[in-house]
Amino acid sequence: MTLIDSTPAQIRTACDAAAHAGPAWAALPITQRAAHLTTLADALQAARDTLVPLADEETGLGAARLNGELDRTAFQLRGFAEQLLAGRAQPVQDDAAVPGAPPAGRPRLTRVATPLGPVANFAASNFPFAFSVLGGDTAAALAAGCTVVVKAHPGHPQLSRAVFELGTGLLPAGVLQMVQGAGIDVGVSLVRDEAIAAATFTGSVRGGVALWKEANARPRPIPFYGELGSVNPVVALPEALAANGAALATQLAGSITLGCGQFCTSPGIVIVRDDEASQAFVKQLAEGLAAANPHAMLNAGIRAGFNAGVARLHGRTGVKSLLALPAREAAPGAHLFATDAASFLADEVLHEEVFGPSCIVVTVRDLDETLRVLQAVQGTLTVTLWGADADTPDNRRLIAGAQAIAGRVLFAGVPTGVAVTAAQQHGGPWPSSTNAFSTSVGYAAMERFLRPVALQDAPAWLIEARGQA
């Protein structure tokens, strides 16, 4: 399929249509809005036999992975519908009036939430269903009462068109719009459009920062919720490795190569101590990676970025190559590197994400060096701590250090696999995301598109209407 960039006029028309449809969608009774989301979920699953082969043709991710992702997307839509019916999109905090002058006295204040307006959603390449046209960002915005203009990802244009047509056939006119294009001009025009009230983005640091700057340079800046890049450190303490090192190495190798390493939560750094159990674990990790069989990457651009990323690490001062597998036809081989804390801290290149099946092992002498390595990362979606279960002063320091740089801290398992639930936090300090206070996965994602408003001495009918919407 030849991809033709949307023209400025087409982008303006899409944004204008979303703006015109916005008030009616925001005012729709909650039960009806929830019913629309459930209908979208049902329709996605009903169209599985058409959509999954189309997605596989464009991404090469395989039917098993894509079927699971389609089901996750339907689960998200239904989940947000349930949140609507539970009243989560219309939170009301009511403080009764107290006679007298402030500060003891006060008028009646009712805090409510109002939809921001049309949201620009930049679809991701690596999740053609779950982070795309009807993915989590779109579901959250629709649930909040916002219309959506999707910037389709050029990596799966036919799938994007098919899902968009499915969605527009079920939603009120104008609620869901789509623009497309491989160049940055389309994205810039979308973020600059005066009708757009917020934007979501999942992708590269370079692209995300450029759009974030555009969002803040507008005459009226808008929120830009960007997920930009993450190295997701795993801290493997000696006690855990002595007890279960071989199994953990196998599990970690699977996480690094899962989806050919094309996950935002793929582990890119492993921190170990200089002891026998840890070094045995590193050897087992290399063996696990050598036995893995990654599939082809999503597109030539991502593959070129991966090749360039591992090339920067090979031969770098203080860095040793432990594994550099050759490509197997269209699939890249896994790469494993090793360095020490001093070299890692001195070289910012080692702190950068390599999007694909690659990982750096950093050997540290003690907890202090571990914490300095974590601090050098600055911000990440996840930190995994193996062996930090006991209540000790060192573990308390380690956990505090992990919380300081991550949106999610794991004490078991691996960071790939992000549950869609109310307690999830998928977003961390810069550069992992542009807003560490928000999440792009889980039901709190809806809060990004709701602005709080205090109603003072409001008429009773208005408060009742807010509670019944």
Looking at the structure, tell me whether residues 216 and 239 fall in a common domain.
no
Taking residues 345-356, what's their average pLDDT? 96
* pLDDT given at position 1: 55
Looking at the structure, tell me whether residues 342 and 284 fall in a common domain.
yes
- 3 pLDDT higher than 90: no
* pLDDT given at position 295: 87
* pLDDT given at position 183: 82
Q: Which CATH number is 442's domain given?
A: 3.40.605.10
The answer to whether position 419 is within a domain reads: no
Compute the CA torsion angle 232, 408, 288, 256 (nearest 10 deg). Answer: -50
* pLDDT given at position 327: 87
- 165 pLDDT higher than 80: yes
Looking at the structure, tell me whether residues 150 and 41 fall in a common domain.
yes
Residues taking part in catalysis: 227, 264
The answer to whether position 415 is within a domain reads: no
Read off the pLDDT band of 467 (50, 70, 90).
low
Looking at the structure, tell me whether residues 437 and 343 fall in a common domain.
no
Looking at the structure, tell me whether residues 300 and 219 fall in a common domain.
no
The answer to whether position 277 is within a domain reads: yes
Query: What's the total number of domains in the chain?
Result: 2
Taking residues 348-374, what's their average pLDDT? 97
The answer to whether position 3 is within a domain reads: no
**Nearest Cα to Cα of residue 79 among 126, 130, 22, 128:** 130
Looking at the structure, tell me whether residues 264 and 300 fall in a common domain.
yes
Looking at the structure, tell me whether residues 37 and 173 fall in a common domain.
yes
* pLDDT given at position 330: 78
- 440 pLDDT higher than 90: yes
Taking residues 181-205, what's their average pLDDT? 95
Q: How far is CA 62 from CA 322, 373, 417, in A?
A: 30, 37, 17
Encode burial over 189-225: b for 16+ CB neighbours within 10 A, e otherwise: bbbbbebbbbbbbbbbbeebbebbebbeeeeeebbbb
Per residue in 387-412, pLDDT tens?
A: 999 999 999 999 999 999 999 999 99
Looking at the structure, tell me whether residues 37 and 137 fall in a common domain.
yes
* pLDDT given at position 4: 87
Looking at the structure, tell me whether residues 210 and 291 fall in a common domain.
no
* pLDDT given at position 293: 86
- pTM, two decimal places: 0.95
* pLDDT given at position 2: 62
Looking at the structure, tell me whether residues 179 and 263 fall in a common domain.
no
Amino acid at 246: A
Read off the pLDDT band of 38 (50, 70, 90).
very high
* pLDDT given at position 469: 54
The answer to whether position 395 is within a domain reads: yes
Q: Which CATH number is 280's domain given?
A: 3.40.309.10
Read off the pLDDT band of 463 (50, 70, 90).
confident
Per residue in 248-259, pLDDT tens?
A: 999 999 999 999
- 345 pLDDT higher than 70: yes
* pLDDT given at position 198: 98
Per residue in 107-149, pLDDT tens?
A: 999 999 999 999 999 999 999 999 999 999 999 999 999 999 9
Average pLDDT, the chain: 95
Read off the pLDDT band of 89 (50, 70, 90).
confident
The answer to whether position 128 is within a domain reads: yes
Looking at the structure, tell me whether residues 21 and 63 fall in a common domain.
yes
Looking at the structure, tell me whether residues 369 and 390 fall in a common domain.
yes
* pLDDT given at position 90: 79
The answer to whether position 207 is within a domain reads: yes
Q: Can you give the residue range of the structural domain that contains 71?
A: 8-228+433-468
Taking residues 275-289, what's their average pLDDT? 97
The answer to whether position 123 is within a domain reads: yes
Q: Is 58 buried (19+), middle (13-18) or exposed (0-12) by CB count in 10 A? A: buried
Query: What are the tokens at 157?
Result: 């244009």
